[in-house]
Structure 1
């Protein structure tokens, strides 16, 4: 009888836990929903039917009220906008990721024309475009775009920020000193921003906070104990939450996995079921797991932390809609 009683008690606690999660509100600040995997294509091969509508609906069931679809180039930003127009909960960014900056001059193209097209795309669609970006520096992947090109076109895009007056969705990887050196002189003309998918040090986080920016946390921000310690050093009022899906899922090998309570049943793409997640393909509903790691490691009430990050995000990206 004691065993049965314990099992019933445990089940009841789980149901209360799940219901509590369903009352939370989230805004996923970085989701690559224009990626072909949500159309069922992996590495150029069709594996199953597109299921983006199912992915969005699943996110809503877990309290994700808004999703910002990331634009990483002119074409990618156009695609992100197209996706954003499929659902009232979706919005997007417009910009050029550091690893794509050679596109500014591809095939003898005019960098000024490329920038003008980004600007026009953002200006003509302000109902859906909520940020400039993804832009910044990534010195971990110089094989895609050399340092000189990344710096040149990051600086060029800050003119785009000045003209559109949009907050910025920043990317910074292994380039902290150069990033700060470029951004600081322009700080007064930047209407706020967030450095997303943060994996830097405590000192680097402090420098970003000193410039008045927010810091975005996802599964890649919580891989190691050092990552977690850095996250814990950031004041709650400067945090945002994201999935960066289909990447950055929280895996069993990650230091933060011990805090994960919510599990999602998944199936391999070969056994696709639209009512389940696809194995190894991250999606916005898993944002609850990011919260569980963050709140568990910080020793903070998940409801309070989720609410504060929601308010932070509304303040930066949706101030005019509150």
Structure 2
């Protein structure tokens, strides 16, 4: 287990998955403005916690454009992915012109890659746990179409796979010889067998609060090879909650407890207070809690884990080592 006092150490993090285009970060919940825009405060809390870089996830063409805009506005702090999440694949079906949709998606990714703002192609994949958003056949079709684009882009893949491993692998694995890059299976919640298969095929594993909910999740996360671990929050989702199996590890890690709780004062959105986090809305600063749990699982220091996860992320996505910010 870790031996250093977390209060005395400033770790540095790369959050490889943050949905910063979500309206929640502007105070909007279910199309209603509940409190003032506190986006800048969210970024500041992340910086104060040691988050040096964040990959802003694109979930459809509109959100991908917004992700790129954020990366342009916050250079060297924010970067973007471009892609269509499986739960948004019906957006392609209803666009009226899927070919045009994909052409625009590819053009956005290509230009962003050239500009240095886009570091991955995704979030693409399949999700059979939420078929009410898009039927399985639609998800399969558009996962395949997006892999066609990925073959031309030479960007790491940012993958989503939930409750669909057999179909997912049947589409992905035969394409590996023609895909120029591997990537990360983010927000991983699969089995040990699924994890080891992805690792054996050259993929990394993204771990967040959703990856640490159950005892089975913890057992799988413990076995992810260090050289394949990446840390993320999937904010505003996937916070570590008291009901999760991972919460006991935060309690066990008494040496981390004060530092992990410091700065995490929360209020309900209806009672918003400037400078405080909102209950139920995960933020990138919470990556320190994810790191603490994973370090406990691996029996190593948070510092060692952060160094390895940082190196893994820089190597895959080509982040600059510089952490100077330009927020103009």
Q: Map of 1:133-282 to 2, 5 A cutoff?
A: 133-188=122-177, 189-260=179-250, 261=257, 262-263=260-261, 264-282=264-282
Give the corresponding residue for 2:253. none
Which moved further from structure 2: 310-319 or 212-221? 310-319
Q: Deviations over 1:15-41 (max 9, x none)?
A: x42231x2x111101001110011111
Cα offset for 1:219? 0.2
Q: Which TM-score applies when normalising by structure 1?
A: 0.92
Cα offset for 1:270? 2.2
Give distance in 2, aligned partners of 1:306 and 1:82: 28
Give distance in 2, aligned partners of 1:102 and 1:42: 22
Give the secondary-structure state (helix, strand or coil) at the position aligned to 1:258. helix
Greater RCO, CA 8 A, separation 6+: 2
Give the corresponding residue for 2:254. none
Give the corresponding residue for 1:92. 80
Give distance in 1, aligned partners of 2:112 and 2:214: 39
Cα offset for 1:271? 2.3
Cα offset for 1:278? 1.0
Cα offset for 1:250? 0.2
Give distance in 2, aligned partners of 1:179 and 1:309: 26
Q: Deviations over 1:273-315 (max 9, x none)?
A: 2311111110000000001111112211111011101100000
CA contact (8 A) 1:55 1:283 kept: yes
Cα offset for 1:83? 2.0
Give the corresponding residue for 2:325. none
Residues 1:321 and 1:299: Cα distance change in structure 2 (over 3 Å)? closer
User: Is it true that 1:26 corresponds to 2:19 in the alignment?
Assistant: no
Cα RMSD after superposing both structures? 1.5
Give distance in 1, aligned partners of 2:181 and 2:166: 21
Structure 2: runs of 5+ lacking an equivalent: 251-256, 323-328
Give distance in 2, aligned partners of 1:145 and 1:92: 24
User: Is it true that 1:110 corresponds to 2:100 in the alignment?
Assistant: no
Give distance in 2, aligned partners of 1:82 and 1:219: 27
Give distance in 1, aligned partners of 2:180 and 2:147: 8
Equivalenced residue count is 306
Q: Which has the larger radius of gyration?
A: 1
Give the secondary-structure state (helix, strand or coil) at the position aligned to 1:85. helix
Cα offset for 1:320? 6.9
Give distance in 2, aligned partners of 1:272 and 1:141: 31
Give distance in 2, aligned partners of 1:158 and 1:283: 30
Give the corresponding residue for 1:78. 65
Give the corresponding residue for 1:10. none
CA contact (8 A) 1:39 1:49 kept: yes
Give distance in 1, aligned partners of 2:73 and 2:26: 14
Give distance in 2, aligned partners of 1:204 and 1:63: 32
Give distance in 2, aligned partners of 1:284 and 1:306: 15
Cα offset for 1:111? 1.6
Q: Which TM-score applies when normalising by structure 2?
A: 0.90
User: Is it true that 1:57 corresponds to 2:49 in the alignment?
Assistant: no
Give distance in 2, aligned partners of 1:247 and 1:191: 27
Cα offset for 1:231? 0.4
Give distance in 1, aligned partners of 2:18 and 2:199: 23
Structure 1: runs of 5+ lacking an equivalent: 1-12
Which moved further from structure 2: 174-183 or 256-265? 256-265
Give distance in 1, aligned partners of 2:93 and 2:320: 35
